Amino acid sequence: MAEKVVHKSWIIQYNLHSIIGILLLVFLFVSFYVIEDNSDGVRIPHNKPKRKKSSPKCDLFSGSWIFDNVSYPLYREQHCTFMPDDFACHKFGRKDSKFQHWRWRPYDCDLPRFNGKALLEKLKGKRVVFVGDSLNKNQWASIVCLIESTGIPSLKPLSYKGNLIAFEVKEYNATIDFYWSPLLVESNCDDPVNHRIRDRIIRIEAIENHARHWNDADILIFDSFTWWHEHQMTLLWGSFNSSDAIYKKVGMKWRRYEMALRTWSDWLEVQIDRNRTRLFFMSLSPSHKNATDWGMRNDQTCYEETEPISRKEYWGSQTDRKMMEIAEASINGLKRRGLDIQYLNITQLSDYRKDAHPSIYKRNWVAPEKKQLKTPRSNDDCVHWCLPGVPDVWNQILYAYIMDSQEN
């Protein structure tokens, strides 16, 4: 009888341990597949990698656009006193605002919200210069509006001197400037106002006349793509006024671009203070002139587009990947030579945004022709970006890189 009791007790203990073991396995199984909410209310399987805090070590350039009409836009067009007419789309008649309410969300981390005061603390006593074409001016205008939106009182009026526009924040002894140099090297298109020249002449080995205006900067942000798309340009060896200068008209867009970047790279390698200056190069900003890329008729453009392209990994036919490869090779060469330079690849994230260009809602610096007035699409701007808009995201990414720096 005692043996039966002991045997029965052992069976009960065995079954209890088995039940506990099964429950533990079920708990682990469920825990592995449990789902949790992210900031947008989208359900994400728990076994996917957790979203990290933003860092340049994370891929900030792969992600998707999320509609967010609560926290975006980051500022209002009409409240930015420094807004250039080139990017003030509402001022020139655009009625819709949906293009302002899209937030870029990287797949594996969070992009930080821009904090102008934190940035200025980082930039105290420093000089930042955006060097390039009107798309770089587009980005510069964005960061100026972002900083003004923080309510900092001591903002001085813009100062214009030659190719330079200076934006000074007196309280922080910081300046954020834009320098017009669309081809980086010297050319006959260097006048900041009168540069609409079809026969472009480039001093392919000369950069000093530009570089002396920004060689003392603490942070330099470059871009140069759009102006190289002409089928032919004239290369110049020597000076414009020299009787023995050599002129040669050439096609070979990619070769011309490569030569210019070599001149730029060589100058940086020799002249830049590596202990002081951080360098950034913005990748190609895509245009949306060819609506067949997103399934529309070939006579349509970005005009009246109000939604981003939803097709994942979309690339437009006008996005010149070969030029991007040349730029990346040049940047990688500078890194091998010991320079602190980052290539910010904003191309694809911007390529989705066919809805965010000025189109016809812009100031016309040259009076439209009769044909253009009759057919608005023939005069629309599908290259630059309305503000607030896509360049704000470029600056959020730039902000993440600057704030990640260990320097004071």
Report the catalytic residues.
134, 381, 384
Half-sphere exposure of 1 (CA within 13 A, CB side): 0
Query: Tokens 């669309």 appear where?
Result: 182
Specify burial of residue 53 (Cβ count, 10 A radius: 0-12, 13-18, 19+): exposed
Query: How many whole angstroms separate alpha carbon 60 and alpha carbon 193?
Result: 35
Rg of the chain's alpha carbons, rounded to an integer? Answer: 27
Query: How many whole angstroms separate alpha carbon 17 and alpha carbon 31?
Result: 21
CA-nearest of 328, 380, 327, 325 to 355 is: 380
Say which residues have a Cβ less than 8 Å from residue 283's Cβ, sequence separation at least 6: 225, 324, 327, 343, 344, 345, 346, 347
Say which residues have a Cβ less than 8 Å from residue 188's Cβ, sequence separation at least 6: 197, 199, 200, 201, 240
Distance between start and end Cα atoms, the chain: 82
Say which residues have a Cβ less than 8 Å from residue 38's Cβ, sequence separation at least 6: 44, 51
The backbone torsions φ and ψ at residue 240, rounded to the nearest 5 degrees and listed phi first, read -60, -35
- Are 135 and 285 a contacting pair, CB within 8 Å? yes
Beta strands per DSSP E along 80-182: 102-106, 127-132, 159-161, 164-169, 174-180
CA-to-CA separations, 68 to 98, 105, 307, 349, 397, in angstroms, rounded? 9, 11, 13, 16, 18
Residue length of the chain: 408
The backbone torsions φ and ψ at residue 177, rounded to the nearest 5 degrees and listed phi first, read -110, 160
